[in-house]
Amino acid sequence: MPAIRILYFASLRERVGRASAELPGDDPLTVAEAWSRLNPALPLPPNTLAAINHEYVDLGAPVRGGDELAFFPPVTGG
C-alpha cells in the first residue's frame, strides 16, 4: 500500500516546522486522526482547512494510502 503524503502550507507550515510528512497507507485514518498522529503535541488550530487530492474535505473524511492530504490556514488570495 502506498503511503499517505501530507502537505502543510503558509503559517501552518511554519508552525509545524516542516512542509511535508508521510504516514503509512495501510491503516484506516480520518483527516483529524492523521493530524494528531503527526502532531501529537499540537492541537489542530481552529479554522484549519484540509484537502484530499486537491478537494476540500471535512476533518472526519477518510484518508487512504496514496492520497495527498493538505492542511492549511484560511486562504488569502485575490
Among 1, 2, 11, 45, binds another protein (CB under 8 A): 11
Question: Of residues 18-37, which lie at the interface with another protein (CB under 8 A)?
Answer: none
Q: Is 60 in the site for another protein (CB under 8 A)?
A: no
In sequence order, which residues have a C-beta less than 8 Å from that of residue 26 and are 6 or more positions away? 1, 65
Least Å from the CB of residue 41 to another protein:
22
6/49 Cα distance (integer angstroms) = 13
Among 5, 30, 39, 73, binds another protein (CB under 8 A): 73
